[in-house]
Structure 1
Amino acid sequence: MINWVLVVILFLAKELCLAGLLEGEYEEGKVYRHRLKNGLTILTMERHNVPFIFHQLTYKVGSVNEPAGLTGISHVVEHMMFKGTKKYAKGQVSKIISQNSGIFNAFTSWDMTSYYMYLPKNKIELAFDIESDRMQNSIFDTAEFKSEIRVVLQERRMRSESNSGGIFLENLYSTAFAVSPYRNPIIGWEEDLKRITRDDAYTYYKQYYTPNNAILVLVGDFDTKEILRLAEKYYGTIPPGPEIHEPNVYEPAQKAKKMFSIVHGDVMYPTVLMAFKTPSYNHPDAPALYLAGKILCERSRGSRLYKRLVENEKLALSVSGGFPISKYPRLFTISIQVNPDSNVDRIEKIVWEEIEKMKRELVSDYELQKAKNRYKFTEASEYIKNSDIGMRLSTWECYYGWDYYNNFYNMVLNVAREDIQRVMNEYFKECCNRWVFVAEREEKHKI
């Protein structure tokens, strides 16, 4: 016989629990993923400490997606999406955001393109309206396009051709990689920029800047259910674009050491940079490589190379480097700003001595725990603003999926001393890349 009294009690208890969940369905400080029918991924995090909301729309496209002969087109499209729609004329968005106490900007990288706005909570609907309009209605006027190509070419001359750091980085990646698209500068090669047409850029825009290839991150003072209604209102009606396939990013094994030197009059102190090809963060070896970077060459007084080269032997002015995040395999770098009275070859010899020591001997428990503590501190202290949190969410979701962040965090904390030794032997080999960047006056006796 059914106990109807018990059934009623259980039913009421279930309804009360559901009501409680609905009232507090989204906890402050937690990340939630949502997806619209057109494929747009949305990550939300409520934070009610200040009455502002960070809105970042990221497209999963960057210079790695560019076909041969059209390098720089992602960056060009980023520029063109600021040139107006029928609803918002050129320059109008900037005025509107400023008049409403907000900030906005955009950037293009190898792996992603992002447009972000930070606005008072009662003005956040502007961000939805502007970005949803820009996603589908950017004009790409022919005259504006030709003008903007000239702007990008001038930007390239300033950043990559006249700037010593730009010259160095461009040569670094084009030398290090044989076929990986990371070898191409994000801003593009000059001849490619001159070749790109308005129709090339507009076709690229329609292919990649679509809801099914985008991630919307929202962090700040909002009610999640209410802000999802705004997302559905503004983005939900945009039709999805074509299916996007991941680019075939690979790099053949390097069998010879690559070296080059650059002489430039704007460099005050010589710089030695050594680089090693390593996997991306979703590889099992990544956590150990990350901590190896902190122990070996982090920009801090605790790293081995800083202690030896800067503090003890006074051969260098600074040491930095490590294992940066990227979507595909990139470079672990060691960068040393050399004291003018030092010798570049002596610096490189010491770097190899420290590398070989980490190959032969286990790092100490103290060193490893200290590196883990610094990692935990950095992850907590550098992500306390809504904008910083939003940037981190966007990057991880675009590269590997936000859920992988917690996996990586826990794997870093579980790295053993033997793991450090193993990855040092696996990736830090003599067929690495070595670059020297020197001041003009150092040319004769330093290289």
Structure 2
Amino acid sequence: MLKKYSLAALVGANLLFSGCSLQQSENHTHHTNKNLADVDLNLKINKKVLSNGLTILHLENKKLPIVSVYTFFDVGGKSETPGVTGSTHFLEHMMFKKTKNFPAEHFSKVIENNGGNSNAYTTFDNTVYYENIPVDSLDEILHLEAERLSNLELEEEPFEKERQVVLEERKMRYENKAGGQLFLRMMKEIFVGTPYGGSVIGDASDVKNLSREKMLEFYHKFYRPNNAVLVVVGDVEADKLFKMVEEKYGAIPRGEGLEELQKEFSSPERFKHRAKLPKTVSLHGESVTPMFMMAFPSLKAGEEDGYALDILSKIIGSGDSSYLSKEFVISKKPKLSSISAANYSLKESGVFYIGGSLLDKVSLNSFKNSLMREVRHICDKAVTERSVQKTKNNILIELYSGLETNDGLAGFIGNQQFYYGDYNGYKRELEIYSSLTADKVKETCKKYIDGNKSLFISVWKKHRK
């Protein structure tokens, strides 16, 4: 319900302060009348699990001689322990370096020479590597993916160089960027005492002190075939793909004790909300006018109420026609330059937030009081049958547009498998969205959007250091 290409991410993926993300969808909203439950989205996915536990998902698409390859590893920021935070993200950087049988940068050069592209990303929940390539280079790419899964070397000199790259990335994203600073503090406050209460990049002190030996230990623990899902979408038949994967990955040993470890890591008690609310936090940062976030504890991916909160987030904070935009951005007396809302559902917990930037000379305290008043009545005032149906229409548009490419399909399928343990999980999601009424969205809104259980954070250069 969270990530790139999952259905709910396509529904509620407005990034903080990105008020224009749904402009195109809104232009077409009134042309979509199809019921979500009637969507004919029947992806003919083939699945195979190797004896070492590697899960393979395949979808054939013969339109063009290209394929997309995604590898999902069940390891993210939540998998780390105090003292080694940032290990997952740091390791992601190192996965493009030297292996036992290939020199550094070989992987990237092969991709480039074949006219493809590749990248990776790390989240609180997982690490994902992906390639978009011509189908005739698939065999070679699978060989290289299997190689770095089993034979990464982590040479000392590149390791130290990449450490500095990661530290600079942390400065750029959080320490020197007001929006990042705001988001990081929100995560720390809402998820205090849980594995989500920090940064995927890690604490600077941990990154500075992480040893090569500790990272190798982390790599050998989590980078195992029974901790991965391989997704391939494109111009290749299932039997041919499965044979190639068996040849490349079949001899890699499974990780022992991983199932027990993952069960321990996903214990509900570890992710129980512990924040003492309400709470107000003021941060000093390089923002000329105040930026703010108002956050409420929410739900993990897959919870039925979470889908109602997804719809609510779009109604109140997505695009110029959203409720809060009309109240605070494009009103006769605007207070904000932008506003957005999102229901950020992680695999084991979640947070609903509203964020925006104040206009010059607008009093922060005055605005906060106005927002608090709005929150008390927003469930009844913003949620109507029309606004709910409009949002459902947008869901269809975003769903279809997100699945037009092999890349979009591969990411979508992999996330369904990762977050729900079922690549057909989107069918249940569509049914839930379709069944939601205005009354249900209102009821859910009143249950979770409570000013007395909220966190209000602002960052501004005039706040005390």
Report the TM-score when normalising by structure 2. Answer: 0.84
Say if 2:368 is the partner of 1:348: yes
Over the matched positions of the two proteins, sequence identity in percent amounts to 27
Cα pair distance change 1:145/1:38, threshold 3 Å: same
Deviations along 1:394-443, whole A, 9 cap, x unmatched? Answer: 222212222322211210111112211221121112121101122x3x55
Say if 2:323 is the partner of 1:301: no
**Which one has more relative contact order, counting CA pairs under 8 Å at least 6 apart?**
2
Equivalent-residue separation in structure 1 for 2:215 and 2:275 (angstroms): 34
Name the counterpart of 2:6. none
Name the counterpart of 1:406. 427
- The answer on whether the counterparts of 1:280 and 1:330 sit within 8 Å (CA) in structure 2 is yes
For residue 136 of structure 1, what is the amino acid of its counterpart? S
Equivalent-residue separation in structure 1 for 2:232 and 2:242 (angstroms): 10
- The answer on whether the counterparts of 2:301 and 2:419 sit within 8 Å (CA) in structure 1 is no
Deviations along 1:277-333, whole A, 9 cap, x unmatched? Answer: 1001211211111111111222x1231101111122322111111213421212111
Name the counterpart of 2:292. 272
Q: Which range moved further: 341-350 or 377-386?
A: 341-350
- The answer on whether the counterparts of 1:182 and 1:330 sit within 8 Å (CA) in structure 2 is no
The structure whose Rg is larger is 1
- The answer on whether the counterparts of 2:312 and 2:383 sit within 8 Å (CA) in structure 1 is no
Q: Tell me, what secondary structure is at the counterpart of 1:58?
A: strand
Q: Which range moved further: 180-189 or 399-408?
A: 399-408
Name the counterpart of 1:424. 445
Equivalent-residue separation in structure 2 for 1:349 and 1:178 (angstroms): 26
Give how far 1:193 is off.
1.6
Name the counterpart of 1:172. 186
- The answer on whether the counterparts of 2:184 and 2:199 sit within 8 Å (CA) in structure 1 is yes
Give how far 1:142 is off.
3.0
Pick aligned residue for 2:344 from 294, 302, 324: 324
For residue 280 of structure 1, what is the amino acid of its counterpart? K
Q: Tell me, what secondary structure is at the counterpart of 1:324?
A: strand
- The answer on whether the counterparts of 1:37 and 1:236 sit within 8 Å (CA) in structure 2 is yes
Give how far 1:360 is off.
4.6
Name the counterpart of 2:284. 263
Report the TM-score when normalising by structure 1. Answer: 0.87
Equivalent-residue separation in structure 2 for 1:90 and 1:28 (angstroms): 41
Unmatched segments (≥5 aa) in structure 1? 1-26
Q: Tell me, what secondary structure is at the counterpart of 1:48?
A: coil
Cα pair distance change 1:362/1:159, threshold 3 Å: closer
Task: Kindly report the root-mean-square deviation, in angstroms, between the aligned alpha carbons of the 2 structures.
Answer: 2.0
Equivalent-residue separation in structure 2 for 1:102 and 1:160 (angstroms): 31
Q: Tell me, what secondary structure is at the counterpart of 2:166?
A: helix
Pick aligned residue for 1:336 from 344, 351, 356: 356
Pick aligned residue for 2:141 from 127, 139, 152: 127
Name the counterpart of 1:17. none
Q: Tell me, what secondary structure is at the counterpart of 1:375?
A: helix
Equivalent-residue separation in structure 2 for 1:41 and 1:280 (angstroms): 24
Equivalent-residue separation in structure 2 for 1:437 and 1:334 (angstroms): 14
Cα pair distance change 1:362/1:185, threshold 3 Å: closer
Say if 2:102 is the partner of 1:88: yes
Cα pair distance change 1:285/1:28, threshold 3 Å: closer
Name the counterpart of 2:335. 315
Name the counterpart of 1:7. none
Cα pair distance change 1:268/1:30, threshold 3 Å: farther
Give how far 1:361 is off.
6.1
Deviations along 1:28-70, whole A, 9 cap, x unmatched? Answer: 9522332111111111111222221000111110010001111
Name the counterpart of 2:458. 436
Name the counterpart of 1:78. 92
Pick aligned residue for 1:110 from 97, 111, 124: 124
Equivalent-residue separation in structure 1 for 2:321 and 2:231 (angstroms): 35
- The answer on whether the counterparts of 1:59 and 1:213 sit within 8 Å (CA) in structure 2 is yes
Name the counterpart of 2:400. 380
Unmatched segments (≥5 aa) in structure 2? 1-40
1:130-209 paired onto structure 2 within 5 Å: 130-209=144-223
Give how far 1:150 is off.
2.9
Equivalent-residue separation in structure 2 for 1:326 and 1:88 (angstroms): 36
For residue 147 of structure 2, what is the amino acid of its counterpart? D
Say if 2:54 is the partner of 1:40: yes
Deviations along 1:375-401, whole A, 9 cap, x unmatched? Answer: 111111222121122222222221222
Equivalent-residue separation in structure 1 for 2:409 and 2:307 (angstroms): 21
